[in-house]
């Protein structure tokens, strides 16, 4: 359990990310894929329903014994709150109202943020688009762990702890790797979220607030759904930096498992990504893929060749236009 991981640095490459070239090639062969781009009219109603379900949960949880609060926090609250973070991921690509109503998407993301308890939707949008544009970019892509994470979390026990603490590292990593000036939208996000949290505690007490915040932290830590954090871009096979997952948990995660397809076509809503794979099957069927996010978590912890350093990283050239 104390074996150290062999990796002492990232996998540095000197090539561009593969998604832009593959997108051009696929569109040249299958131009009909362009018809899949644009907003998903169902998304806003699904998100509203999920928010309503969590509001109802806040009310129902307020009078339960703490043992049941703990049970439902992990069994249900963590699942739906992680799903809400992926709804915000969808909205960050303007798939709720389209590119012509960009601000509608931003404020709708704040609404989706409410049952999560932690204000992050506005900041996520800015950093996530950089992740797509500059995948693996040194000093820009904050999805890549810091050198400290790679150096310290280098044994099985420490990797286990690192997975539990992933929400913390995702929160502080941008401030360390790529700090940006605070925007008015981020201030609004914080004010609205804190006001909601205080109102929830004032109306229904501490239990719903605990259910909300602990559900978010647990759902993004040691949880089956959180396997997608590792599965998406950690280099389990040399030479491959993005991986897809085609299992049943895509039903709860807006098809985020179709990750090669998503990076190839970020403007296509998650609901339509299976159609991309169906139309351009020869581009995806032979790529490495997963069938279990739980197995991804287990393999990441137990394989001494894997660590937070198991990421493809590249030096960026030319003008860098960040959000």
> What pLDDT is stored for residue 244 in this prediction?
97
Among 5-9, 205-209, 254-258, which stretch is predicted with the lowest mean pLDDT?
5-9
> What pLDDT is stored for residue 2 in this prediction?
58
CA 211, CA 240: separation in Å to the nearest integer?
Answer: 38
- Pick left, alpha or beta for residue 139 (phi over 0 → left; psi -120 to 50 → alpha; otherwise beta): left
Strands (E), 162-283: 244-245
- Inter-residue contact 169 to 149 (CB < 8 Å): yes
pLDDT at 1 over 70: no
Average pLDDT over residues 286-307: 95
Average pLDDT over residues 44-61: 98
pTM: 0.94
The per-residue pLDDT of the chain, averaged, comes to 95
Query: What angle do the packed helices 121-133 and 78-92 form, to 10 degrees?
Result: 60
First-to-last CA distance in the chain?
42
Q: Calculate the CA 80 to chain-centre distance.
A: 14
> What pLDDT is stored for residue 323 in this prediction?
66
Q: Calculate the CA 228 to chain-centre distance.
A: 8
Average pLDDT over residues 228-247: 95
């Amino acid at each position: 359990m104390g074996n150290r991981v062999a990796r002492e640095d990232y996998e540095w490459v000197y090539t561009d990310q593969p998604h832009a070239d593959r997108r051009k090639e696929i569109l040249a062969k299958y131009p009909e894929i362009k018809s899949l781009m644009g907003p998903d009219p169902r998304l806003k109603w699904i998100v509203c329903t999920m928010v309503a379900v969590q509001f109802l949960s806040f009310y129902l949880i307020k009078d339960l014994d703490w043992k049941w609060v703990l049970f439902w926090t992990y069994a249900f609250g963590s699942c739906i709150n992680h799903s809400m973070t992926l709804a915000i991921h969808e909205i960050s690509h303007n798939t709720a109202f389209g590119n012509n109503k960009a601000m509608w998407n931003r404020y709708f993301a704040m609404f989706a943020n409410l049952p999560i308890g932690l204000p992050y939707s506005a900041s996520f949008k800015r950093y996530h688009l950089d992740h797509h544009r500059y995948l693996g970019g040194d000093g820009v892509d904050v999805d890549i762990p810091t050198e400290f994470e790679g150096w310290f979390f280098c044994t099985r026990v420490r990797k286990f702890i690192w997975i539990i603490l992933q929400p913390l590292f995702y929160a502080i990593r941008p401030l360390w790797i790529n700090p940006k000036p605070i925007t008015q939208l981020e201030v609004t996000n914080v004010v609205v979220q804190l006001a909601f949290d205080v109102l929830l505690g004032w109306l229904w007490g501490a239990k719903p607030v605990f259910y909300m915040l602990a559900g978010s932290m647990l759902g993004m830590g040691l949880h089956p759904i959180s396997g997608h954090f590792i599965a998406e871009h950690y280099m389990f096979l040399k030479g491959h930096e993005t991986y897809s997952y085609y299992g049943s948990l895509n039903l709860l995660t807006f098809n985020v498992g179709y990750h090669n397809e998503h990076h190839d076509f970020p403007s296509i809503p998650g609901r339509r990504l299976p159609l991309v794979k169906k139309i351009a099957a020869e581009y995806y069927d032979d790529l490495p893929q997963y069938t279990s996010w739980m197995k991804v978590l287990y393999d990441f912890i137990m394989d001494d060749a894997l660590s937070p350093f198991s990421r493809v990283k590249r030096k960026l050239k030319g003008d860098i236009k960040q959000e």
